[in-house]
Amino acid sequence: MKARGVCSLFLLVAGLAAQTGLSQTFTTLYSFEGGNDGAQPQAGLVVGQDGSIYSTTVSGGAFGMGTVFQLTPPATEGAAWTETVLYSFQGPPGDGNTPYGMLLIGANGDLYGTTTGGGGAKQGGIVFQLSPPQTAGGAWSETVLHNFPQPAAFLLYAGVIADANGTLYGDTFFGGVNGGTVFTLSPATPWIENTIYELHPEADGAQPQANLAWGPSGVLYGTASIGGKPRMGTVFELAPPQSKGGSWTETTLHEFTGPSDAVPTAPVLVGASGQLYGTTSGGNSTHGTVFELTRQADGTWSETILHNFADRLDGVNPYAGLVPDSSGALYGVTYLGGAANRGTVFKLTPPGSVGGTWAKTTLHNFTGRNGQGSYPYGGLVFGYRGALYGTTDAGGASGNGTVFALK
């Protein structure tokens, strides 16, 4: 199981930011039954223009191979949300299976995503497009945009992002020179895949699990969960070619050294001043961190640990990324830890003066009781009526995971 996180620019979410200083109300919006409705939602959520939220489950559905689902908000606050399975994956040879990655909402309401398995004969996973029905009540239609062949590139734990021309960008966990790859998919008939960089495990890092993020001038930022010289993961930058047909240029911005500040499995968040925020999961034996990377005058980047998860009660393994509000506070989840050791939702509040300490607050402890979820893998997102929304991998009424809101 792999974590997916949310990656956003501060300015893009300011209008959806939650009000601060208010008490929190936690609600389980939906509990997955584990059958046709899906099971184990591990990706972050995306929010449509009407307030609907979309994501994937890694299992369940009509064929037991995962789903894409929609949760529609009620007309009146407090009423039940409506879950709809938009698509059930069928698996190889013609389709993908086990979608871990976050979805992308396209300009026309299409949904784009990835699967870790399935596809063509070599079953390296797929990139897919789901198009809404042309008539009310009709079925969504899937198009497989690309099949990844093992061993050239395979296992897509991350979703895709897009540029203004509709070209998709993503990464693969394995492939290339065995550190994984970064690729583009350009709209055409059929779509054209191009590997723009192959990660070298010691120099660049290896096994990227998270979405890429846009930086200034078309730069891409990414994380590698392992690799670098200390072998504990990296943050890297890919700069676009200066002329058509040229090569992308990779720069390793930071190598993590551990022990807790290691294994970044989430995307970075690009701040308003160009700084990068992210999490490290800490691996299997440590608790993890929240970090900030800042570009220095000489072009190098320096790391500041904003929070080091100290013990089990504080939170353990933040596999997902961060989402900000308009005040600059950062919100995230830990997979484990908290009072019941089933995960937490936390908030980091920036200091009031330069050089001060960020203040960490636990907003919610997951208990797994009374229909509540357990073990949040995917990141948070601000959405309908200013609430924070997320998923849990397990728990709920049937033990197959939940979608929750924190307001």
In which region does residue 217 sit, left (phi positive, over 0), alpha (psi from -120 to 50) or beta (all else)? Answer: left
Give bridge partners of residue 189 from the DSSP assignment.
none
CA distance linking residue 25 with residue 18, whole number of Å: 12
Spell out the domains of the chain, with CATH numbers in brackets.
Answer: 10-406 (2.130.10.10)
Higher pLDDT, 284 or 358: 358
Average pLDDT of 320-346? Answer: 97
Q: Give residue 6's pLDDT band: very low, low, confident or very high (50, 70, 90).
A: very low
In this predicted model, what pLDDT tens digit does every residue of 247-267 receive, in sequence order?
A: 999 999 999 999 999 999 999
Name the CA dihedral angle for 316, 320, 323, 329, rounded to a multiple of 10 degrees: 20
pLDDT band at 31 (very low <50, low <70, confident <90, very high): very high
Dihedral sign of CA atoms 218, 224, 230, 232 in order: positive
Radius of gyration of the chain (CA): 20
Q: Of 135 and 4, which is predicted with more confidence?
A: 135
Give yes or no for residue 22 having a pLDDT over 70.
no
Residue 168 C-beta-side C-alpha neighbours within 13 Å: 27
**Local confidence band at 84 (pLDDT 50, 70, 90 cut-offs):** very high
Cβ-count burial of 258 within 10 angstroms (0-12 exposed, 13-18 middle, 19+ buried)? Answer: middle
Check whether 5 has a pLDDT greater than 80.
no
**Short-list 308, 274, 280, 275, CA closest to 292:** 275
Q: Can you tell me the distance from the alpha carbon of 159 to that of 103, in angstroms, rounded to the nearest whole number?
A: 6
Model confidence at 285, in pLDDT bands (50, 70, 90)? confident
* Average pLDDT, integer, range 85-108: 96
- CA-based nearest residue to 1, from 58, 74, 62: 58
pLDDT digit string (tens) for 134-175?
A: 898 899 999 999 999 999 999 999 999 999 999 999 999 999
Q: What is the pLDDT of residue 137?
A: 84
Q: Residues 109-127: what's their mean pLDDT?
A: 94
Q: State the pLDDT confidence band at 2, using cuts at 50, 70 and 90.
A: low
Give 122's contacts (C-beta < 8 A, 6+ positions apart).
Answer: 147, 148, 149, 150, 154
Q: For strand 111-115 and strand 126-131, is the pairing parallel, antiparallel, or unpaired?
A: antiparallel
Q: Residue 397 to residues 134, 370, 389: CA-CA distances in angstroms?
A: 35, 8, 18
Please give the mean pLDDT across all residues of the chain.
93
| pTM for this entry | 0.93
